[in-house]
């Protein structure tokens, strides 16, 4: 009986790991499409000056997102994930870190950059949320 429980437990662990790998692959493909869409939108902009401003805004947001996510990962997120695995942490605290990152990024970007991104991609907040997810995924898979 114990052997069956052990085998079932091992099977469940393998299924969960396979599912995580599948989700990571799906998310990576999704974010690649998102980046391609952003570049395609850039190509539509006729004015070279505005295109350069838009590209600079995208670069600024991406750099700030990388720094912010890395900082939160080093100071809080890693320990919080381990506490959740151990059963002593709360998943909502981890979700709150994404909100904290989004707030830090949003307040760190100029209104002009936000307007350019909103005008070309639809929603600055959605773009930042997806970028945060992308950076977190990149950290988890390295």
Q: pLDDT for 28-49, tens place per residue? A: 888 888 888 887 777 766 677 7
How many domains, in total, are found in the chain? 1
The reported pTM is 0.63
For the chain, helix, strand, coil in percent to 5 are 90, 0, 10
- Write out the residue range of the structural domain in which residue 54 sits: 2-141
Cα–Cα distance, 44 to 115 (Å, whole number):
17
pLDDT of residue 72: 85
> With b meaning 16 or more CB within 10 Å and e meaning fewer, what string describes 38-57?
beebbeebeeeeebeebeeb
Q: Note the pLDDT tens digit of each residue in 113-132.
A: 999 999 988 899 999 999 99
- Name the pLDDT band for 64 (thresholds 50, 70, 90): very high
């Amino acid at each position: 009986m114990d052997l069956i429980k052990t085998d079932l437990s091992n099977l469940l662990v393998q299924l969960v790991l396979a599912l995580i790998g599948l989700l990571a692959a799906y998310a990576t493909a999704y974010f690649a499409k998102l980046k391609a869409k952003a570049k395609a939108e850039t190509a539509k902009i006729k004015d070279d000056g505005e295109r350069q401003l838009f590209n600079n805004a995208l670069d600024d947001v991406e750099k700030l997102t990388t720094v912010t996510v890395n900082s939160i990962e080093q100071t809080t997120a890693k320990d919080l994930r381990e506490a959740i695995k151990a059963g002593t942490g709360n998943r909502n605290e981890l979700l709150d870190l994404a909100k904290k990152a989004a707030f830090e990024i949003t307040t760190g970007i100029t209104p002009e950059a936000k307007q350019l991104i909103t005008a070309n991609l639809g929603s600055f907040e959605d773009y930042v949320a997806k970028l945060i997810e992308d950076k977190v995924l990149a950290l988890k898979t390295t």
